[in-house]
């Protein structure tokens, strides 16, 4: 990091909010660089779950009693926080789901009756499996055809090729906002505008974006936008599907059950209005409430400050790692977030990850649920270090020293 670069917040104070950062692994203070897999949780988020179960645990939207009303209010307040966080116009355009994967499947399932044989679906070459497989299944159900936007060696999407894929048969486009395996920030606003010129709807997978930069779904003009709380300092098992009201009204419900109905008889059932139409069954109440607290927490630091600091970490780590002979970084696009995927020449990523773990450093190794990217580079996988606002340059120094040690031991 440039020594004069200003750190926009007190990282030492922030680290105290995360109890897990105090622990040791294999005799070393934990360095947690697996934030793209899941972020750590601040104490306020953990406390909010304990508070819910200790003080107002109840089923929601159902009871007249005080506990149910308190829980309902807190859950709906969280929905409102998500709405504001992503700039959605209406609260009922935010559907609670169990996470990104669930959200994508709701949309993929919903399009089953809206597509015809020969229609085209466009995805990018750098998608997570959860933004590939549901669309392949949709193609199998409908006879639609999957087209792929290629990427270049830097790990950036080839926009000219994207333009040439679009035509009157294109019905849907699916692209991640930020690649989990490369860190590339995709030009999603442009991707959406181009798709709309052809009348196609666009889903943006924001799993890697929402904790790292400001998202405004109206400015992007996204038809659907999805993410998971657990990557945003919130708990696992909860996330959201944002959809424009007009689209959500067009899609059929994903699951049938309690909560999603208006009236039920054995002859006929009518469905509830948004958002409940997509929220069958008792939801993850504590998770939803804690998600709202995580959003408060991220807002209290500020997305602009987070993005600026994480860029500093990215630059610092990139420079240091590239000084190691034989180290190659995959994903070198000019526009990227704080994810560094790399390999050491002649060394399997799993072995590097194992040695780093012995040194108390948590990274992810493997294909990162993005096998087409690994096939593109013809590699089995990478070592991925992904940084968050609670990480420090001292931790990056430990990573660099660890990688050097792994190299000495393994080559």
What is the nearest approach in angstroms of ligand C6P to the Cβ of residue 325? 28
Interface of this chain with ligand C6P, residues 91 to 110, rule: CB under 6 A: 99-101
Among the listed residues 368, 373, 385, 395, the single contact to ligand C6P using CB under 6 A: 368
Interface of this chain with ligand C6P, residues 295 to 354, rule: CB under 6 A: none
What is the nearest approach in angstroms of ligand C6P to the Cβ of residue 97? 9
Among the listed residues 1, 21, 31, 36, the single contact to ligand C6P using CB under 6 A: 36
Question: Does 233 participate in catalysis according to the annotation?
Answer: no
Contact range with ligand C6P by CB under 6 A, out of 75-83, 105-113, 124-132, 355-363: 124-132
Rounded Cα gap, residues 123 and 125, in angstroms: 7
Q: In what order do the strands lie in the sheet with 224-228?
A: 94-97, 239-243, 224-228, 201-205, 170-176, 120-124, 145-149
The answer to whether the CB of 243 falls within 8 A of the CB of 223 is yes
- Core vs surface per residue 135-153: b (16+ CB within 10 A) or e: beebbeebebeebbbebee
What is the nearest approach in angstroms of ligand C6P to the Cβ of residue 362? 12
Among the listed residues 78, 138, 144, 207, the single contact to ligand C6P using CB under 6 A: 207
Among the listed residues 128, 276, 336, 398, the single contact to ligand C6P using CB under 6 A: 128
The H or E element that residue 400 is part of is: helix 393-410
Rounded Cα gap, residues 379 and 381, in angstroms: 5
Q: In what order do the strands lie in the sheet with 327-330?
A: 327-330, 339-344, 382-386, 364-366
Contact range with ligand C6P by CB under 6 A, out of 205-213, 263-271, 282-290, 310-318: 205-213
DSSP one-letter code for 4: T
Contact range with ligand C6P by CB under 6 A, out of 139-147, 242-250, 362-370, 400-408: 362-370
Rg (alpha carbons) of the chain, rounded to whole number: 22
What is the nearest approach in angstroms of ligand C6P to the Cβ of residue 1? 25
Three-class secondary structure of residue 283 per DSSP: coil
Which residue has tokens 């991640």? Answer: 176
What is the nearest approach in angstroms of ligand C6P to the Cβ of residue 240? 11
Find all residues with CB under 8 Å of 264, minimum gap 6, and list them: none
Q: Report if residue 130 touches ligand C6P, rule: CB under 6 A.
A: yes
Rounded Cα gap, residues 292 and 80, in angstroms: 8
Could you list the active site residues? 369
Residues that bind ligand C6P (CB under 6 A): 36-37, 99-101, 128, 130-131, 176, 180, 205, 207-208, 228, 364, 368-369
């Amino acid at each position: 990091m440039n020594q004069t670069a200003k750190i926009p917040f007190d990282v030492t104070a922030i680290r105290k909010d995360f109890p897990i950062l105090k622990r040791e692994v294999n005799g070393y203070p934990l360095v947690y660089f697996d934030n793209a897999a899941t972020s750590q949780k601040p104490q306020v988020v953990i406390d909010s779950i304990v508070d819910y179960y200790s003080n107002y645990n109840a089923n929601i939207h159902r009871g007249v009693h005080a506990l149910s009303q308190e829980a309902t209010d807190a859950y709906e307040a969280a929905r409102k926080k998500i709405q504001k966080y992503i700039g959605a116009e209406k609260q009922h355009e935010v559907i609670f789901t169990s996470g990104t994967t669930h959200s994508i499947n709701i949309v993929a399932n919903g399009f089953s009756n809206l597509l015809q044989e020969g229609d085209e679906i466009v995805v990018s070459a750098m998608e997570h499996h959860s933004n590939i497989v549901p669309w392949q299944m949709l193609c199998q159900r409908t006879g639609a055809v999957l087209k792929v936007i290629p990427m270049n060696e830097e790990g950036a999407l080839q926009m000219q090729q994207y333009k040439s894929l679009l035509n009157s048969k294109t019905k849907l486009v699916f692209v991640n906002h930020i690649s989990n395996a490369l860190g590339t920030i995709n030009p999603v606003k442009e991707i959406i505008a181009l798709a709309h010129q052809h009348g196609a709807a666009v889903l943006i997978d924001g799993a890697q974006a929402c904790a790292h930069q400001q998202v405004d779904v109206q400015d992007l003009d996204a038809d659907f936008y999805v993410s998971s709380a657990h990557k945003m300092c919130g708990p696992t098992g909860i996330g959201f599907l944002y959809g424009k009201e007009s689209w959500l009204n067009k899609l059929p419900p994903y699951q049938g059950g309690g909560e999603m109905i208006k009236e039920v008889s054995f002859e006929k059932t009518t469905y509830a209005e948004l958002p409940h139409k997509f929220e069958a069954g008792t939801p993850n109440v504590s998770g939803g409430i804690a998600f709202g607290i995580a959003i408060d927490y991220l807002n209290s630091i500020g997305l602009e400050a987070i993005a600026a600091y994480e860029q500093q970490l990215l630059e610092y780590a990139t420079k240091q790692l590239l000084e190691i002979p034989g180290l190659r970084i995959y994903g070198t696009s000019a526009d990227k977030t704080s994810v560094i995927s790399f390999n050491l020449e002649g060394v399997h990523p799993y072995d590097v990850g194992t040695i780093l773990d012995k040194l108390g450093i948590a990274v992810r190794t493997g294909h990162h649920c993005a096998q087409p990217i690994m096939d593109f580079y013809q590699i089995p996988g990478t070592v991925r270090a992904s940084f968050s606002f609670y990480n420090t340059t001292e931790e990056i120094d430990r990573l660099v020293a660890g990688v050097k040690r792994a190299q000495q031991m393994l080559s």
